[in-house]
């Protein structure tokens, strides 16, 4: 190449590089001036302790991290859409984001409920590990993609209580004919044990139990159960929460809306949801401990389920899950991933978390 041609070529390359850098600068500048406002619909009453307040915290995190470029307007259940219409509202674009739990959407896909958790399944630590390091989140996004949704883990209550009962549960026979508010796979397990599962939003639980239209209910745990007065609606409070050992909550974003979001705001949303995830788990650990002591001091009858009841419920759980997997290839893939991760994690949990709990004597 001649000297003049070489200089021309170098000059052209430099010019192209400069143009590219200018384009990048313009894109960054445009991104930095983007203003985004999202409507967030939830399954919870406005400002409900733990669940409703967590989404308010998320909105604050996002606004502060984005220096005001992104704001969220939170709507509690019934304020913009009913509690059980969150999925459809976000899928259609009627709202940009929702906060709920995946097992409410089993009618859309049976695989969805695994991303909240299954009876006798993983606890909060294990669920988070599966999502972030075990392929669970990738599967979750695959399941939701056909519905134009992008899910993000956004909270966990930790292991829940088994529920409130108007009569004692002394054997499996006491489950027959029992009408209980219990969603998801847990509800199907109760059905096979001879009971009748009922799906009710939070706003209807207290009245249904108090009036006797249901015989029992599970909700969450001492913190939230005390907040809605369940301690005055039934006599017996059973543990452990076999039906929800580590239920994950979700933020779901309309996929078209998510795809249009600048990269830096996407990162802010993801990181804020992780912070919310950590914060909720910590809050429920602290608040449940305090609320349980209050309940015991006021005379609440806190009881363990009999061993034979738990054995039968566990047997029925795996019967239900195996049938779902046999009928649906997507469920089969999700269940295989979930089961394998739980098996590996549990071998470690037995000699770490569980072992130290068993040796700690206060």
pLDDT in tens, 34-58: 899 999 999 999 999 999 999 999 9
| DSSP secondary structure code for residue 141 in this structure | H
Q: Which two tokens stand for residue 186?
A: 């847990």
Rounded distance between C-alpha atoms, residue 165 and residue 167, angstroms: 5
Q: Where are the domains of the chain?
A: 34-156+246-285
Beta-bridge mates of residue 72: 38
Lowest mean pLDDT among 8-22, 162-176, 297-311: 8-22
Report the DSSP pairing between strands 216-217 and 179-181.
parallel
Q: List strand residue ranges (DSSP E) for 305-351, in order.
A: none
Q: What is the rounded CA–CA span in Å between residue 146 and residue 190?
A: 31
Element (H, E) at 302: strand 301-304
132 vs 180: CA distance, rounded Å = 34
Q: How far apart are CA 324 and CA 320, in angstroms?
A: 6
* CA distance to 118, 144, 165, per residue, from 184 (Å): 8, 17, 19
For residue range 93-148, list pLDDT tens digits in order. 999 999 999 999 999 999 999 999 999 999 999 999 999 999 999 999 999 999 99
Q: DSSP string covering 159-219, please?
A: S---EEESS---SGGGGTT-EEE--HHHHHHHHHTT-EEE---HHHHHHHHHHTSSSEE--
Percentage of the chain exceeding pLDDT 90: 87
Do 97 and 254 contact (CB within 8 A), yes or no?
yes
Mean per-residue pLDDT for 322-350?
A: 97
Q: What is the pTM of this model?
A: 0.88
The pLDDT value recorded for residue 202 is 83
Topology (CATH level 3) of domain 34-156+246-285:
D-Maltodextrin-Binding Protein; domain 2 (3.40.190)
Beta-carbon contacts of 193 under 8 Å, excluding residues fewer than 6 positions away, are 172, 175, 176, 312, 313, 316
Question: What is the C-alpha separation between 360 and 157, in angstroms, rounded?
Answer: 23
pLDDT greater than 70 at residue 226: yes
Burial 52-78 (b: 16+ CB within 10 A, else e): bbbbbbbbebbbebbeebbebebbbbe
How far is residue 123's CA from residue 317's CA, in Å, rounded to a whole number?
A: 16
Three-state DSSP class for 358? helix
Compute the average pLDDT of residues 61-78: 97
């Amino acid at each position: 190449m001649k000297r003049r041609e070489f200089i021309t070529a170098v000059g052209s390359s430099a010019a192209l590089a400069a143009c590219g850098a200018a384009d990048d600068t313009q894109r960054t500048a445009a991104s930095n001036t983007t203003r985004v406002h999202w409507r967030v619909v939830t399954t919870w009453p406005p400002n409900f302790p733990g669940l409703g307040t967590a989404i308010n915290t998320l909105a604050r995190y996002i606004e502060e991290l984005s220096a005001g470029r992104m704001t969220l307007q939170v709507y509690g259940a019934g304020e913009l859409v009913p509690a059980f219409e969150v999925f459809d509202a976000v899928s259609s674009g009627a709202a940009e984001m929702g906060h709920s739990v995946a097992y409410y959407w089993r009618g859309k896909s049976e695989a969805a409920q695994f991303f909240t958790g299954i009876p006798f399944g993983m606890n909060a630590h294990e669920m988070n590990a599966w999502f972030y390091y075990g392929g669970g989140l990738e599967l979750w996004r695959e399941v939701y993609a056909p519905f134009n949704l992008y899910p993000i883990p956004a909270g966990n209550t930790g292991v829940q209580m088994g529920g409130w009962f108007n009569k004692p549960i002394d054997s499996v026979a006491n489950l027959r004919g029992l009408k209980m508010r219990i969603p998801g796979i847990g509800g199907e397990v109760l059905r096979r044990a001879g009971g009748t599962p009922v799906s009710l939003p939070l706003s209807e639980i207290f009245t249904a139990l108090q009036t006797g239209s249901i015989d029992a209910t599970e909700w969450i745990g001492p913190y939230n159960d005390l907040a809605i007065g369940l301690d005055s609606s039934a006599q017996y409070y059973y543990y452990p929460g076999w039906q929800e050992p580590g239920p994950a909550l979700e933020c779901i974003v309309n996929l078209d809306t998510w795809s249009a979001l600048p990269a830096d705001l996407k990162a802010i949303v993801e990181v804020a949801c992780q912070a919310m995830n950590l914060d909720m788990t910590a809050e429920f650990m602290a608040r449940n401990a305090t609320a349980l002591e209050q309940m015991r001091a006021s005379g609440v009858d806190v009881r363990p389920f009999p061993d034979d009841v738990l054995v039968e419920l566990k047997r029925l759980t795996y019967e239900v899950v195996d049938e779902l997997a046999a009928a649906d290839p997507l469920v089969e893939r999700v269940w295989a991933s979930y089961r394998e991760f739980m098996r590996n994690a549990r071998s470690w949990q037995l000699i770490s978390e569980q072992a130290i709990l068993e040796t700690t004597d206060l």
